[in-house]
Each structure stands twice: as structure tokens, then as C-alpha cells.
Amino acid sequence: MRVLGRLLAAATLFLIFPMAAHAQATRTWVSGVGDDVNPCSRTAPCKTFAGAISKTAAGGAINIIDPGGYGTVTITKSMTIRADGPEAGVLSSSTNGIIINALPTDRVVLEGLDIDGGSPSSPGLNGVRILAAGEVIINDCVIRNFVQASNGVGIVVQSSTKTRVTIQNSLINNNLYGIRIGGGSVNNSHIKMFNTSIIANSVAGLSVSGAGNDALIAGNQFIGPKSLEILSGAAITSYGNNVLTSGDAPTTVLPLG
């Protein structure tokens, strides 16, 4: 009986360990025809970001195989979510699209995502809500239709520790605010934004509030009722190749070259 018990224990460990190995891959995959019970491998992909993130190691990447709607997700560690070509949709009616609540040393990259707040009758809260991270990079993304009262921000930084956010080659449109530092406990956070279109955001395209918080912008197009909003000792530095149609004047304007 004792020998049989040892054999059973060994067999149980043999079954458990391969599952654990699959649980923390450095690269995982999602597909519109996947299943979250899968290990999120290339040949057995998951269906949602939420299903894949628990199986992806810190510092790893979730890749998109084909077009689909991959759901909302909360990111709590260094992570890349990347769509190279296929449309990766995040529909976030009545909730936040992506929440980033990682460590102050963590780096999060979002690339090629279409984050949609849904219909005006049931709008999403915020597209990307950053509560904590060391660095966030948002590249080649579309963030739109976040119009819920008291929220309604495409990208909002509400971190209590210093966070650096880089936005480039993106479209942020039809929100209350396009990008906002403020609306929470924010401490010396910084935004750099390049070659991005901020269109038809009804309150402000870029709003920065609070001393120590600032933004640097270059090569962007602001089209809407208010391009920039600068509050409570914040600062925005603008290179001369931004299109600014209205709102507050930049704190500093730098020449090109």
C-alpha cells in the first residue's frame, strides 16, 4: 500500500508540473476562435486577454493571431499586448477597457489595439486607466467613444507614484477627454506624445493638472473644442509642429530642429 501511495503521488506530480509550466509562458497567443481553457500556445490559443494574462509570465507578451474582440483586462505586471496587423478589439461598455495597476518598476506596452467605449446608451468608463506603473507605451492604437459622465477619458493617468507614458501613432477620438493626467492621486507623472490625432474630444484633447505633472508633445493634430487644458501648476511643452486649434497656450514652445 505504501509503494502504491508513492506511485500515485509521483503520477500526480507528473500531471501537475506540465500544467504549471504552461501557466507562465513568456509568449502567449489569443484568437477569435480560441478557448480560455487552452494553454494559450500558438497552436492552442486562448480567446480573451483576461484568459491569457494569468498564463503569461511577467515581462512576457500576448500576441494576436487573427481579428477578434478580446475583452477588457487588468494588467498587474510588466507585459506587452501586441497586434501586428489583425484588429484586436476591446469593447468596454459600462466599464474600463484596460486597467494598468502594476509595480512602479514595471513596463507595460499596448500596441495595435482598438479600444471602444461602446454605444452612448451604455458607454465605457475610460479606455486605458493607469493606476500604477513605471512606464506605459501606447502605440498604433485607436481609443474612442468613452463619454460616460465623471469618467469618459481615452487615456487617464491616476498613479500615486511617478509614471512615464509615451503615446505615438495613435487615434484618440470622441471621448470627453482624450488624454488626462489628474482625477486621482497623481505624483510627478509625465506624458510624451508623438504623431497622434486627438479629434472631437468634447471637454479637452489633453488635460494636465497638478504641479509636477507635465506633457511634451510633437507632431500631433488636435481637432476639437479645446486642444489643451493646463490646471493647478501643471506644464505642457509643445514643439512647433503640433496643430493646436483652441484652448490653453502651451507652457513652453520649442522650435523644430
Question: Which pLDDT value is given to residue 256?
Answer: 83
164: which 3 cell numbers? Answer: 512615464
Residue 153 inside a domain? The answer is yes
Residue 60 inside a domain? The answer is no
Q: Are 137 and 112 in contact (CB under 8 A)?
A: no
Question: Which pLDDT value is given to residue 143?
Answer: 98
Sheet holding 98-101, edge to edge: 73-75, 98-101, 126-132, 153-157, 177-181, 204-209, 228-231
Residue 61 inside a domain? The answer is no
Question: Which pLDDT value is given to residue 15?
Answer: 46
Question: Which pLDDT value is given to residue 112?
Answer: 97
Residue 62 inside a domain? The answer is no
Question: Which pLDDT value is given to residue 20?
Answer: 45
Residue 168 inside a domain? The answer is yes
With b for 16 or more beta-carbon neighbours within 10 A and e for fewer, the 2-11 pattern comes to: eeeeeeeeee
Question: Which pLDDT value is given to residue 24?
Answer: 86
Domain extent at residue 196: 67-254
Question: Quick one: 121 and 5 in the same domain?
Answer: no
**CATH assignment at residue 90:** 2.160.20.10
> Structurally, how many domains does the chain consist of?
2
Q: Strand, coil or helix: what is 68?
A: strand
pLDDT by residue, tens only, the chain of 257 residues: 454 455 445 444 444 444 444 458 999 999 999 999 999 999 999 999 999 999 999 999 999 999 999 999 999 999 999 999 888 999 999 999 999 999 999 999 999 999 999 988 899 999 999 999 999 999 999 999 999 998 999 999 999 889 999 999 999 999 999 999 986 667 789 999 999 999 999 999 999 999 899 999 999 999 999 999 999 999 999 999 999 999 999 999 999 87
Question: Quick one: 207 and 174 in the same domain?
Answer: yes
